[in-house]
Each structure stands twice: as C-alpha cells, then as structure tokens.
C-alpha cells in the first residue's frame, strides 16, 4: 500500500503569510491596492488577488492616484523606497522581518567601511533588494566555487573588514561551505547567519523525508527560489517532481512509488496543498484498486479515504552529548541552562546571606530554601551581598528538592535568564542597545552579562578598533547590540563595535555642526602613515600632514609623535563634502622663519650647511627649518659644470644672503659674492702700497731739494 507523508513545515512561511494578509486586509478595508511586482511567486495566489482588483506595477511612479503600494516580502532597494516617497505614494511595507534584518545589517556594515559579500542568486528580487541597501563595495556569489576563485584574485585585502550574509532561502549546506571559504581568506570577517529558520527547517525536513521515501512531490511556483531549493535538495536522494497545482498530477508520475513525500514552498497556500493531497490520494487508491484483482467491490472515488499527513518527520538521533570536561565554556553554559529538573517557580524571602549561598524562606513550603552562589547570578565573580539583602522577595526556580534533608535548592539566575532571554530576543529584532558587564575573556572573544543572560561577543566585535589583548575589558561595563540569536541553542551574539561606531557617527554629526577653521581641540594620536598622523578628536579623525608636524624637516611623523599621545591641535581646513579635516600642530612662536626674519637681514653673512644638491644649485640650511638656494652661478667665481664639483653634502660654508621672498619662503644665497669681495679687497691692497711708496719718495725728494740748494750755495760761495 502506497503511503503519503506531508512535511510538517510545508506551505506559507511567516513572511509570505504576513504579506498576503496585509494585501487582503487593505482590500477588505475598501482600498485600491497595487503591488510592486507579484506579491509572491505563486501564480494561483496572484490570480486570486487580481480577481479582487489588485494590480501589479513595475515602478513606484506607476502607482495610480489614491492607491496603496505594497512592498512584497522580498523587500526592495532603498532607492525604490526613496522614489516612492518622493512621488507621495502611500506605502505598505510588507518586507519580511527576516529580510529587513539583513537590510539593517548591510547598511550598518557598509557605513562602517566593510565590504559586503552576499551568498545568493544575484537575479533574485531579495538579493537585489539587499544590494540596494549597501553603500560601499558589495559582491554576490551563488556557489562556493565562484567565491573561492574570486577570493584568490585578492580584489579586497585580507585585512579589509568583510561582512557576509545570505539570501534567506539559500541552501544551508552551500552557505556553510561558502562561510568556511571566506574564513580562510579574510582575517577581519564577520559572518551573519541570515538564512531564515523556517527555510532551514523546511529544507531539513525535506531532506529527511526524501531519504525515507522513493518519490518526492514539491508543490510551489516555478519562479519561487525556495521551492526550487527544495526540489534540488530532495533530488539528491530520490525521484523528485515539481508541480504548481493538483492538475499536473497523473498516475504515470506516481506509479511504482511505495512511499511518497510531499512538501511545499513558502509561497504555496494551504488550499493548494490540500487539493494536491486529495488528488494524490484518489490517484493512489484508484491505482491500487485496479491492480488488486481480488477486490470485488470498488470504493467510489469520493469515498476513498484521504491519506493522513504524517506528523513531523522524525529527526536522526543526535550524537551523544559531550562531557562537561570536553565542552567549551559557552557549550557548558548552554548545557547547564537546559538541565533544569523542574520549571516550578516559587517566591522566596531572603533570611540569610553567606559567601557561598543565600538562605531563603520559601513561601508556601516547609522546606528550607537556599540559593548556591553560582545560581544567584550569571556573573561567576559576583558577591552575594552585592546582589541581595535581608528581606528581599525573589522569584526563584526550584532546581532540586531533598525531602530527607528537608531542603530546596533554588535558582535566581535561571529565572533572570528566562526573562532576560526574552529581552535579548526582542533587542535583536529592534536593534536596541543593551548594557552589560564583561565577565570572562575566552578564546575568540568575550562573555558579557545583560539581564541575567550571557552574550558572546567575538573578538572582531569587541571594540571599535581590533584589539589583540581583550583583558583590559574584563569586569568593565559595556554597551552592545544583539546581532544574532539562536533560539534552539539559546545562544546570543553581540557587538560592542557596532554601538561604538554608531556613537562615533553621532559625535561626528555633532562635530560637523559646530566645527570652524581655527578652533582648537585636544585629541589622541590614533595612527600614522608616511605622510601624516591621524588624530581622534572624539568622534571624528583629523590629519596632521607631515609638513605641519614640525618647522624642520622630518622623515616620518614618528620623529615627533607616538601613537597614543595627547596633542593640542587646531583646524586648518575643513572639507564638509568629503568629511576631511586638516589639522595644524606647529606653534607660531616656534616658526623658524620668524626667527630668521628677526636675526638675518639681507646682506648678512652666515655659516650654512649644504643639505641638498640639484642640477641648478645647492641648498644650504641657515637655521633648522630654513634653507636657502645657492644658485650654480653663485657657487664659485668661475664657471662650473655641477655643484658637486665644488661642494658636498654636510659641508659648512660661508654665504651671503642676497635676497629673501618671505611669501614664497625663498632665500637666495651666494658664495661668489664673498669671493668677489675678497678679491676686490685683495686688489685694493697692492695699489694702496704703491701709492704710499710713491708718496714717500716724493716727500724724500722734496726734502732733499733744500739741502741740495744749500750745498750749491755753499759751493758758489767758496
């Protein structure tokens, strides 16, 4: 006898059901409705809605006046939403919340500078919508092979922040393979598990069913991505048929099958599934009646019993649980949360506090109650007296009752965790920021407690900038967002980094509202490059160009500053469009040009050091930070081919300042002028000596003339 088994999760998913319900609600209210593209990938549903007056438009501008434009569950790019709003169109956003979560993730990650990798079908509307919420680089891959090939091309560096998401309906195994490949190539990767839980469960059930049946029937629209995925995973195990309606069924398609499994895509309504099951039952029963020659009576088709839908497919037994010694801290925590012996809650009044336990009077019970210190709070380092005081009324969970001893072991931690878990789940959906305290630094990240729930924070998400050592965060208060929740494992993943970046964006916005050229700030040196130092001004980064770090020449910013230094800076220039800030650091009083101006007027002779050579001359440092040019024509008093013929680096020479252009910061120096002056002085010295000699001879001659006359007179007298 042929058996028919229906998968537990066949049919409408939450997102599709929500979208269709919204359209019907609008129609019931008498509104005119348009959908941006088919509301779901099921032609039968689309036809029914069309019969009620729903029209399909391809662009928001095509929406008729007075009509409501419904955004389907796949979601749309932000640009489409902006256009619709610009047209004044009334929008009913039926985007699946799980898809909306992906939009929020890629927006935040793109804004933070991360490249986004989407695993999915590039042509699928959901993927197109996700891409449209990315503001930076985004890449789409549909299989591990293409991703692997692309990663090897190194289009983005291994250190670049990379966020990885998937289409909600993508096959889980393929996604896991893609995630493993990305982890091998990128050190700053954060993987967001965005496959819809319902999709994953649907695929899991379909695989399990196909492994025990010899025929699978997949019901759904041929344009539906998730329906196609169901067909793909089932076809690996048995013969698989895809149909849209019961009309496509035939005896030939079902013949020879002893066990038939049925599942349906997320866009397949319940009435179509019911009709398929009924038709299959009729075909199977009629076929068996015809084959059974011993049967003498024929049961009318309308009375033929329909095959019952099988209960949820039994899962393969899980592997034996690890021992606590083999578990990681997170695994042990999760295991302990699942080990409750009872879910009975009681009220306890604190009557005693000890270092290792809290004694309570349990309302309505005669046994003495106690709360072990490790069941008081999720913080393993907590001191009981810091948590409770005598007389406090506490909501507690019974862990174990010992009738022989007349005691009840209770837990406050687990009640808090139950309430806190709801808050954590809600925070993940809303994007709320949670406050917590870091309780443990573990391999791969941190554990923080919020509302009695431990949240794992990966190392890559532990701070605004990557930290090699996370120990400074131990026991520190932190603020974070929940970025992933696993309901089955009661596991939550948080991000401090996301909050820090959001806060930084707020500070940045406040800065740009008030910032003006000339304003002074106290900042911290954040990083350095060969061309300058980046300073955190408290929400924004500004750059001190290397030329602004010192009045003298430096080879690297580290010659003046160190990372972590607190510095006083002022705004030299602002580029509001590019969000760039140019900072000044040098002090006017230390300006070597002002010192030079005061001490060295034109015509001064100074000793300078040769610091550079060019084809047209040599540069000489007069004082640190001020250089002048000795043109090749001013190096010697004769023609030279190149400066190196006369000068060398490091040589100290006397030069004359012949000209200064303070605006252009140019100084002309001359060695030749000094040489020529010296030569002129040397030529003047011999001439003066000759003149002096001639003067002496003349004087001597003049003195000799009277004596000669006297001698002549005496001679005449004789």
Give CA–CA dist 101/217, Å, rounded: 32
pLDDT at position 152 is: 82
Q: How far is CA 257 from CA 22, 240, 262, 301, 601, in A?
A: 40, 11, 13, 20, 107
Could you tell me what percent of the chain has a pLDDT over 90? 33
CATH topology for the 591-718 domain: OB fold (Dihydrolipoamide Acetyltransferase, E2P) (2.40.50)
Q: Is the pLDDT of residue 460 over 50?
A: yes
Please give the residue that has the higher pLDDT: either 53 or 588: 53
* Separation between Cα atoms, residue 461 and residue 468, nearest integer Å: 12
Mean per-residue pLDDT for 17-31?
A: 86
Q: Mean of the pLDDT values across residues 662-684?
A: 88
The mean of the pLDDT values for the chain is 82
**Rounded CA gap, 213 and 195, in Å?**
26
Nearest to 446 by CA among 383, 509, 492: 492
pLDDT over 70 (residue 356): yes
- The architecture (CATH level 2) of 14-96 comes to 3-Layer(aba) Sandwich (3.40)
CATH of 330-411, picked from 2.40.50.140, 2.120.10.80, 3.40.50.10210, 3.90.1150.10, is: 2.40.50.140
Segment 537-561 shows an average pLDDT of: 86
- Among 60-64, 279-283, 548-552, name the most confident range: 60-64
Arithmetic mean of pLDDT, 196-225: 85
Mean pLDDT of 336-365: 73
Q: Does residue 666 have a pLDDT over 90?
A: yes
Residue 688 is predicted with a pLDDT of 56
DSSP for 351-414, written as a single string: EEE-SSEEEEEETT--SEEEEEGGGT-S-TT--HHHH--TT-EEEEEEEEEETTTTEEEEESHH
Report, as an integer, the average pLDDT of 73-95.
Answer: 90
Structure tokens at 397: 């969970």
Average pLDDT rounded to a whole number, residues 367-376:
85
Residue 243 binned pLDDT confidence (cut-offs 50, 70, 90): very high
Q: Any idea which of 47-51, 170-174, 445-449, 550-554 has the lowest mean pLDDT?
A: 550-554
* Strand ranges of the sheet holding 115-119, from the earlier edge strand across to the other edge: 138-141, 115-119, 162-166, 189-191
Q: Which residues are catalytic?
A: 126
How high is the pLDDT of residue 98?
Answer: 77
Give the residue range(s) of CATH 2.40.50.140 domains in the chain: 330-411, 420-491, 515-589, 591-718
- Give the pLDDT mean for 86-101: 86
User: Would the pLDDT of 685 be above 70?
Assistant: no
Fold of 3-9+198-295: Cobalt-precorrin-4 Transmethylase; domain 1 (3.40.1010)
DSSP 223: T
* CATH, range 98-195: 3.40.1010.20
Q: Residues 224-240: what's their mean pLDDT?
A: 89
- For residue 310, the model assigns a pLDDT of 30
321: pLDDT strictly greater than 60: no
pLDDT score at 293: 42
Write phi, then psi, for 204 (nearest 5 degrees).
-60, -45
Per the model's pLDDT, the better-predicted residue between 389 and 11 turns out to be: 389
Choose the weakest-confidence range: 273-287, 295-309, 519-533.
295-309
How far is Cα 482 from Cα 491, in angstroms, rounded to an integer?
11
Report whether 457 contacts 495 (CB < 8 A). yes
- For the chain, residues classed under CATH 3.40.1010.20 are 3-9+198-295, 98-195
pLDDT at 338 over 70: no
pLDDT of residue 686: 60
Q: 708 pLDDT band (50/70/90 cuts)?
A: very low
Least confident of 75-89, 207-221, 260-274, 634-648: 260-274
Structure confidence by residue, pLDDT tens digits, 572-607: 898 888 888 999 887 776 788 888 988 999 999 999
Span 50-59, mean pLDDT?
92
Give the model's pLDDT for residue 578: 82
515-589 folds as OB fold (Dihydrolipoamide Acetyltransferase, E2P) (2.40.50)
Region 466-489: mean pLDDT is 85
Residues of the chain with CATH 3.40.50.11270: 14-96
Distance separating alpha carbons of residues 675 and 683, to the nearest angstrom: 12
Which range, of 324-328, 510-514, 680-684, averages the lowest pLDDT?
324-328
Determine the CATH number of domain 420-491.
2.40.50.140
């Amino acid at each position: 006898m042929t058996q028919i088994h229906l998968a537990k999760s066949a049919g409408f998913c939450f997102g599709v059901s929500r979208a269709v319900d919204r359209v019907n609600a609008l129609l019931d209210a008498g509104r005119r409705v348009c959908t941006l593209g088919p509301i779901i990938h099921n032609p039968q549903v689309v036809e029914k809605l069309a019969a009620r007056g729903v029209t399909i438009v391809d662009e928001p501008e095509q929406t008729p006046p007075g009509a409501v434009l419904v955004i389907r569950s796949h979601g749309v790019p932000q640009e489409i939403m902006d256009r619709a709003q610009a047209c004044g169109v009334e929008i009913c956003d039926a985007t699946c919340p799980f898809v909306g979560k992906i939009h929020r993730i890629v927006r935040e990650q793109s804004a933070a500078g991360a490249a986004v990798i989407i695993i999915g079908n590039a042509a699928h509307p959901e993927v197109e919508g996700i891409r449209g919420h990315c503001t930076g680089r985004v890449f789409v891959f549909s299989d591990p092979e293409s991703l692997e090939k692309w990663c090897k091309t190194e289009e983005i560096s291994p250190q670049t922040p990379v966020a990885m998401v998937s289409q909600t309906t993508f096959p889980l195994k393929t996604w896991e393979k893609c995630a493993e490949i990305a982890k091998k190539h990128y050190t700053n990767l954060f993987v967001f598990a965005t496959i819809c839980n319902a999709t994953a469960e649907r695929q899991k059930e379909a695989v399990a069913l196909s492994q025990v049946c010899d025929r699978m029937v997949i019901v759904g629209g041929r344009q539906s991505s998730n329906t196609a995925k169901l067909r793909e995973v089932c076809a690996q195990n048995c013969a698989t048929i895809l149909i849209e309606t019961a009309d496509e069924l035939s005896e030939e398609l079902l013949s020879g099958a002893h066990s038939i499994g049925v599942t349906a895509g997320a866009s397949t309504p319940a009435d179509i599934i019911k009709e398929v099951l009924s038709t299959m039952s009729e075909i199977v029963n009629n076929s068996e009646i015809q084959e059974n020659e011993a049967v003498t009576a024929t049961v009318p088709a309308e009375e033929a019993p329909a095959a019952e839908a099988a209960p949820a497919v039994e899962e393969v037994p899980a592997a034996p649980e690890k021992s606590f010694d083999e578990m990681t801290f997170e695994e042990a925590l999760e295991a302990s949360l699942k080990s409750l012996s009872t879910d009975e809650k009681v009220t306890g009044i604190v009557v005693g506090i000890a270092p290792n336990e809290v004694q309570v009077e349990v309302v309505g019970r005669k046994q003495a109650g106690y709360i072990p210190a490790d069941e008081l709070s999720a913080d393993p380092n907590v001191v009981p007296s810091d948590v409770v005081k005598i007389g406090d009324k506490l909501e507690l969970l019974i862990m174990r009752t010992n009738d022989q001893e007349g005691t009840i072991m209770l837990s406050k931690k687990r009640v808090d965790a139950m309430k806190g878990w709801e808050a954590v789940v809600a925070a993940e959906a809303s994007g709320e920021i949670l406050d917590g305290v870091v309780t443990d630094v573990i391999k791969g990240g941190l554990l923080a407690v919020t509302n009695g729930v431990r949240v794992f924070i990966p190392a890559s998400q532990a701070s605004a900038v990557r930290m090699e050592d996370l120990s400074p965060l131990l026991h520190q208060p932190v603020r974070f967002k929940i970025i992933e929740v696993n309901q089955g494992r009661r596991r939550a993943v948080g991000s401090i980094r996301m909050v820090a970046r959001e806060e930084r964006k707020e500070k940045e916005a406040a800065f740009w509202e008030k910032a003006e050229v000339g304003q002074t700030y106290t900042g911290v040196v954040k990083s350095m490059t060969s061309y300058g130092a980046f300073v955190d001004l408290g929400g924004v980064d500004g750059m001190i160009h290397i030329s602004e770090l010192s009045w003298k020449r430096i080879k690297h910013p580290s010659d003046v500053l160190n990372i972590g230094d607190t510095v006083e800076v002022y705004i030299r220039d602002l580029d509001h469009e590019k969000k760039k800030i140019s900072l000044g650091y040098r002090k006017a009083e230390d300006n070597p040009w002002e010192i030079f101006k005061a001490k060295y007027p034109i015509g001064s002779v100074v000793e300078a050091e040769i610091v550079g050579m060019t084809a047209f001359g040599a540069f000489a440092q007069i004082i640190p930070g001020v250089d002048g040019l000795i043109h090749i024509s001013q190096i010697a008093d004769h023609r030279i081919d190149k400066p190196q013929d006369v000068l060398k680096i490091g040589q100290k020479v006397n030069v004359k300042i012949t000209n200064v252009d303070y605006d252009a910061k140019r100084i002309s120096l001359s060695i030749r002028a000094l040489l020529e002056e010296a030569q002129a002085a040397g030529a003047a010295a011999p001439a003066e000596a000759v003149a002096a000699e001639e003067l002496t001879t003349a004087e001597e001659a003049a003195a000799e003339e009277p004596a000669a006359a006297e001698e002549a007179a005496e001679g005449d007298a004789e």
